[in-house]
Structure 1
Amino acid sequence: MSTFARIDAVSSLVLDEETLPDELGPDQVQVDITYCGICATDTHNYTSGGQIPPATFGHEWTGTISRVGASVSSVRDGDRVIAAVGPACGTCAMCRAGHADHCDLSFAEANGVTLDAPAHGGFASTLVVSERRVVPVIDGVSDVEAALVEPTAVTFHAVRRARQSLGAVVVVQGAGPIGLLTAQHARHAGAGRLLVIEPNADRRAAATALEFSDVVAPGDTASAWIDEVTSGLGADVLYECTGAATLLKSSSEMVRRGGTLALLGFPMTDSQISYGDWQVRELTVIGSLAYTHDDFLGAMRAIADGSVQVESLHTATIGLSELAAMLDELDSGDTSQTKVLLDPPRSGE
């Protein structure tokens, strides 16, 4: 038997049990979950009553392979693995058109809508998924670090898409987990000067602990920093990591003419922008959602060699019975948590 959490109503979840299959499909693997991170998508799913596919409720998981199907060749029993998406399939419409970085199958896997998607996510003791959905953990990455590879891959993907130039003046708006990871990737990618903007004092402290020297609250101080460092031109690249729809216009105004606005935070409401302003200033606006298979490998290597520090983002570990209360706390905004990991009961416990 396996225990898992599922959403049953708005801001409500229940713990349920399922009987594991006697035999796995030929390309399936069974993963005993070690940790599963909680992210903003999980909170939105919880407060919306489950409007996001159930397989994504708990998508930042790591665990150990406990069974494999007859055709599985990339992993074996006892391997530590992380949740991922498979390589470009080569046969979907996007792949056939030469756009393998936007493979339809990989994108569907990231959003939990493939035909073989599990009925629940990683807030569970055990999960059965396709072999495509797991990647072995490389040497030098701890279990806690492995649980943070998925958001690290999200931010790795975004910085890679932004094509940030060496020596660029970079602004990161928001110092939650996504902002702190983005800032580290931007630094690793060769940012010349980097400003982190964050209203929450605890999160500013977290950014400072990661050795970012320019960390300020929103407002005049941030504007003055950009003006001084760029001689009034504006940032070369701004990574918007809050997902606050009201900040989109003001974020774009911090970017220089010809600069790049990279969007990571996902707004739950519509935004208003000045289309004409973006056009006159020839902004490059880049949306970024999820990742490719390659991003997971790059993210793990960055963690393993110390270029990106993730363990300091881990502020709490909870059990399944504490999940609803933690989601309520995270949704309230009145929390000191950065990244919370769920440690579920093991299968059979």
Structure 2
Amino acid sequence: MTSAESTFLTVAGPSQLQQGRETLTDPGPGRVFVDITYTGVCGTDVHGYTDGSMLPPAVFGHEWTGTVSAIGTGVTTVAVGQRVVGGVGPACGHCAQCVAGHARQCDTVFAEANGVDPEAPAHGAFSTRVDVSQRRVIPVPDEVTDIEAALVEPTAVTFHAVRRTAAEHGAVVVVQGAGPIGLLTAQHARNAGAGHLIVSEPSAARREVATGLGFADVVAPRDLRTRLGVVSNGLGADVFYECAGVASLLQPSAEFVRRGGTLALLGFPLTESTVSYGDWQQRELRVVSSLAYNHEDFVGAIRSIASGRVDVTPLHTGTFALDDLATILDELDSGKSNHAKVLIDPRR
């Protein structure tokens, strides 16, 4: 019999956390226990914390890596002692989307990604241990460090977005926002064959990180229009990745795109946006939205990190204990933090 006490944190109300304890004794059929090594703090976690009620419990603390400590009957994909990351399973093959031939839009995977499937864990991984379905764990190769593994989930989010956008090789690409999502998107876009890539970011510190990742054309937003005009001979971007998630930037972002070009939406604003429908229609904009990921995106993200084609380590700016979580969430919500990606280590 496997038995251990786990400590976890959940959202108890607007900007309030609650500590819980549970004793986990033997995983059920098809389930595994994972001892958490690191959990990344995502913008979604910050929004869920400040709102107090918007997130399903499994989503608060969804960027995690750890080691399998016990497996239930019927588990075939992982073994005890194996390092894993939290993810989603392959397309189920029997939901309405799969039966209709749309496996990339599998209803089961979509529910898993949003923490609302029947097998969703009772809480996220701001915890010492989680009890999850084997569908949610993906093995980590030896070439990937624990820090890198903790950043697989946002790498999968951005891998998914760039894969959906399917830009042509040689495209003039703009990435708006050089936070973790923007910097990962830029690396995937570069790997996907961008001909000229411009990163736009108001923070000098983040522009410096982008330059350190090998991006030669990094500008402040005030200089973007002039620089893009020079690069594109006045046409505009072939592809514009909006990664800031600021509602007021939606229409201005579209106006940077050339006629017939693509506006790709990754940022997730929490307020309504106003756009010029006529402008978008007259210029035949192609708009590609993106949310979460598929199992294949995790596989591709892990391979990209393992091969060195995506460098996630410069995004990691701090590691804190579980008891520090509320302080970190408050700091990130303030808009004054210098952190990019913060990790929580529940072993501290």
Q: Establish whether residue 18 from structure 1 lines up as the match of residue 19 from structure 2.
A: no
- Give the aligned partner of residue 313 of structure 1: 315
Cα distance between partner residues in 2 of 1:27 and 1:119: 16
* Counterpart-to-counterpart distance in 2, 1:23 and 1:145: 29
Corresponding letter in the other structure for 2:98: C
Q: Distance in 2 between matches of 1:129 and 1:251?
A: 39
1:198 corresponds in structure 2 to 201
Residue 211 of structure 1: how far off its partner (Å): 1.3
For residue 37 of structure 1, report the CA deviation from its aligned partner.
0.3
2:290 corresponds in structure 1 to 288
Distance in 2 of aligned mates of 1:120 and 1:205: 36
> Is 2:148 aligned against 1:145?
yes
> 1:6 maps to which residue?
10
> Which amino acid in the other structure matches residue 126 of structure 1?
R
What is the CA–CA distance in structure 2 between the aligned matches of 1:128 and 1:289, rounded to whole Å? 25
TM-score (norm 2): 0.98
Q: CA deviation at 1:14?
A: 2.1
How far is the alpha carbon of 1:190 from its aligned partner? Answer: 1.0
What are the equivalent positions in structure 2 for 1:19-34 lying under 5 Å apart?
Answer: 19-20=23-24, 22-34=25-37
Matches within 5 A, 1:129-278: 129-219=132-222, 221-278=223-280
Aligned-partner SS, 2:115: coil
Equivalent residue, structure 1, for 2:335? 333
- The letter of the residue matching 1:161 is R
1:233-258 CA-partner distances (Å, limit 9, x unpaired): 00000000011000000000000001
Q: Distance in 2 between matches of 1:50 and 1:341?
A: 23
Q: What is the aligned partner in structure 2 of residue 297 from structure 1? A: 299
Q: Distance in 2 between matches of 1:267 and 1:336?
A: 21
AA aligned opposite 2:23: T
When normalised by structure 1's length, the TM-score is 0.97
The equivalent of 2:119 in structure 1 is 116
* 1:89-128 alignment runs, 5 A limit: 89-128=92-131
Identity %: 62
Q: Alignment partner of 1:19: what SS? A: strand
Cα drift, residue 203 of structure 1? 1.0
Query: Which stretches of structure 1, 4 residues or longer, exceed 2 Å deviation after superposition?
Result: none
Gaps of 5+ in 1: none
Render the CA deviation track for 1:270-320: whole Å, top value 9, x for unaligned.
Answer: 000000110111010001000000000100111011110001110000001
Cα deviation 1:320-345 (Å, max 9, x = unaligned): 11000000000001011010000003
Give the deviation of 1:139 after TM superposition. Answer: 2.9
Q: How many residues align?
A: 344
Shift in Å at residue 10 of structure 1?
0.3
Structure 2 unaligned segments of length 5 or more: list them.
none
Name the amino acid aligned to 2:218: V
Q: Give, in whole Å, the separation in 2 of the partners of 1:252 and 1:303.
A: 31
Report the AA paired with residue 4 of structure 1: F
SS at match of 2:190: helix
